[in-house]
Amino acid sequence: MRGLLILSLLALTSWSSVNADLDWWQTASVYQVYPRSWMDSDGDGIGDIPGIESKLEYLVDTGIDTFWMSPVYESPMVDFGYDISNFTSIDSIFGTMDDFDNLVATAKSLGLKVIMDLVPNHSSDEHEWFIKSLAGIDPYTDYYIWHNGTELENGTITRPNNWISYFGGYAWTWSSERQAYYYHKFTEEQPDLNYRNELVVQEMKDIIEFWLDRGVDGFRVDAVDTLFEDETYPDEPLSGLTDDPTDYDYTLHYYTMAQDETYEMVTQWRTLLDDYAFKTDNVTRIMMMETYENVTQVMKFYDAGAHFPFNFFLIMNVNGSNTASEIKELAIDEWLDNLPDNVTSDWVIGNHDRKRVATRYSSEQVDAMNMINHLLPGVSVTYYGEEIGMENLWISWEDTQDPWACNQDEDTYELYSRDPNRTPMQWDATTSAGFSTNESTWLPVHSNYLTLNLAAQMEAEVSHYKVYKALISLRQESVIQEGSVNVQLLTDNVMAFSRELDGSDPVIVVTNFANNTETVSLDVFENASDNMVVSIASINSELTEGTAVSRSSVEISALSGIVLRSGTDSGANAILSSAFFTLLMAVLARSIRC
Ligand code: GLC
Ligand code: MG
């Protein structure tokens, strides 16, 4: 009984407990599930919702508190769910609405927040709205962006302007049925909705409410920059980068991306989310924006009411060929220096559209990149498989599924294909890496799964997964949740940062981007103890967990990262023992009084 009391007192008064002033999402460790590739429950070789539900405990065990799912709505799957034919139903490939409700219920019972992918810019061309719009049936006639085209001197009708699809090819497709062009930022099977039509605006708000009523905690908003286009349809200026007028890079995108009205729509959605929370349970519902625009346009989303725009700077601005100096300047400082006051930062190193971290950086850098992602201030976002360092898989032209790659030819498809980073999750060394009982899966399983898999990494003494889990656990400490950040370049290839908070033991993270060991002094972090100890280390680090190091001279292995805390005689342990002592005294005093 008394033992229990001590334990619960310890739990209650832990100095590293979550700050009550921070809302749930501000400290979230978010995990992205790509439903087709995470877990297949029925053996058809494609992941599904019951599969996701069966693995939720894994997320909880790992320390994840929030997950977002790429689309599971009804879809012809031209863009694997990003072409939606019914925004309020579940595709049978993924399961049923009951399966979805069960998923949300199980997630709630485990304390997990569920984020849906909202795809507001376009629908599938098989959506009822588009079919009716094609036929000119009201009120759907103006649900999409229609244009009669431009008449040439010889009387022929041609495209309205030079706008190009993100996936390559012209962004206008002629409909012989309607005798007009429709605009599509993505594939021609993904017509853009017309947000200058109030009915469309209302439809999307109703869709948001529909999913809120089913218990979701927020939305990842897909391709938000593409919502509006200039209504005078001017030609985009040429970029000068290529001579191919059907290449997306042929023009700049002044008139088709991040228009002012886009931000106004985001503000309206924020109001909707806030009102919803107010009229129900006062639990914040969030919006995370997918945007690859320039820093000014990205930061404007905060002002517009987004909880945060995804910070893709470690994806867009740099990769494994950059020095630490460039990573600091182009990705980290560029983000932190431009961040508005009093907002929540976030970090993302991978997603279903970009090469895996092990491939974009290198497999040696997986742990160091996870340290950066999880220990800089704010929300961290993990793409499934990055916790075990999954690698891109080369996929043949014949096996290629991604429409972006299929739009190219056999010589160039590899530059565009997103299939290599969407292969099935490598759970264990059994059939299809434990992803499916089927030996044939929608994309092939990476051949390295026999050794690179979660089960093996759970068993191993040191592994990417163990590093990852330790980082997620460290994120629970208030020094990470609320501490200041100080990023320093120690040599051209070694970057370090501290997280500091009064009353907490500082955390120092050192990352080496060079192919050789470097020796650095950490004396610039004056508040760190002279004697430190490695608390988390990359699996390729010579300095292993528990090794004592002196602040003034640390030898950091090639391409590794380490997390340092105060050594035994000070810092964490001092705080730990004093907290423990105080509690013990309190308990003793109590028992004496009884
Ligand atoms: C977003 C998605 C991407 C999709 C596109 C069109 O960029 O992340 O996967 O192809 O939008 O919806
Ligand atoms: Mg649009």
Transcribe 26-87 into DSSP letters: GG-EEEEE-HHHH--SSSSSS--HHHHHHTHHHHHHHT--EEEE---EE---TTTTSS-SEE
Distance 191 CA to ligand 2 centre (A): 8
Check if the beta carbon of residue 54 is closer than 8 Å to that of residue 38: no
Ranges of H-type helices in 387-493: 403-406, 413-416, 454-459, 464-474, 478-482
User: Under a CB-based contact definition with an 8 Å cutoff, are residues 554 and 567 in contact?
Assistant: no
Give the number of whichever ligand sits closest to the CA of residue 226: 2
* Type of residue found at 579: A
225 CB within 6 A, ligand 1: no
- Please say if 198 is a catalytic residue: no
Give the closest residue (by CA) to ligand 1 atom 12: 82
Task: Calculate how far, in angstroms, residue 123's C-alpha sits from the geometric centre of ligand 2.
Answer: 11
Confidence at residue 398, expressed as pLDDT on a 0 to 100 scale: 95
pLDDT range class, residue 584, cuts 50, 70, 90 = low
Mean per-residue pLDDT for 474-490?
98
Q: Do 211 and 157 form a contact (C-beta atoms < 8 A)?
A: no
Annotation marks residue 387 as catalytic: no
H-helix segments, 280-348: 295-304, 313-316, 324-326, 334-338
As a whole-number percent, the residues of the chain with pLDDT over 70 amount to 92
Give the ligand whose atoms come closest to the C-alpha of residue 421: 1
Q: Tokens 């090819």: give the residue.
A: 169
Query: 222 C-alpha vs ligand 1 centroid, how far in Å?
Result: 6
State residue 583's pLDDT score: 59
Tokens of 395: 């996929």
- Using DSSP, state whether 318 is helix, strand or coil: coil
Task: Tell me, in angstroms, the distance from the centre of ligand 1 to residue 584's CA.
Answer: 55
What value does the mean pLDDT of the chain take? 94
Cα–Cα distance list, 13 to 479, 482, 551, 582 (Å):
16, 17, 31, 11
Mean pLDDT of 43-68: 98
Structure-block tokens of residue 414:
């590899």
Residue with tokens 């959605």: 269
Specify whether the CB–CB gap between 352 and 34 falls below 8 A: yes
pLDDT of residue 232: 97
Take residue 124 and report the two structure tokens written for it.
């599938």
The catalytic residue among 40, 217, 222, 386 is 222
Is the pLDDT confidence value at 5 over 70?
A: no
Burial of 505 (0-12, 13-18, 19+ CB in 10 A): buried
Atom number in ligand 1 closest to CA 82: 12
222 lines ligand 1 (CB under 6 A): yes
Contact 586, 529 (CB under 8 A): no
* Sign of the torsion angle spanned by Cα atoms 164, 165, 168, 174: negative
pLDDT digits (tens, 9 = 90+) for 291-327: 999 999 999 999 999 999 999 999 999 999 999 999 9
Which ligand has its closest atom nearest to the C-alpha of 261? 2
Global pTM reads 0.93
pLDDT for 6 equals 41
Q: Cis ω on the peptide bond leading into residue 139 (within 30° of 0)?
A: yes
Cβ of residue 186 lying under 6 Å from some atom of ligand 1: yes
pLDDT computed for residue 30 by the predictor: 98
What ranges make up the beta strands (E) of 236-339?
Answer: 286-289, 308-309
* Residue 396 pLDDT: 96
Ligand 1 midpoint to CA 70 (Å): 9
Q: Is any ligand 1 atom within 6 A of the Cβ of residue 82?
A: yes
Cβ of residue 119 lying under 6 Å from some atom of ligand 1 = yes
Q: Given this model, what pLDDT does residue 9 score?
A: 38
Q: How far apart are the first and last CA of the chain?
A: 14
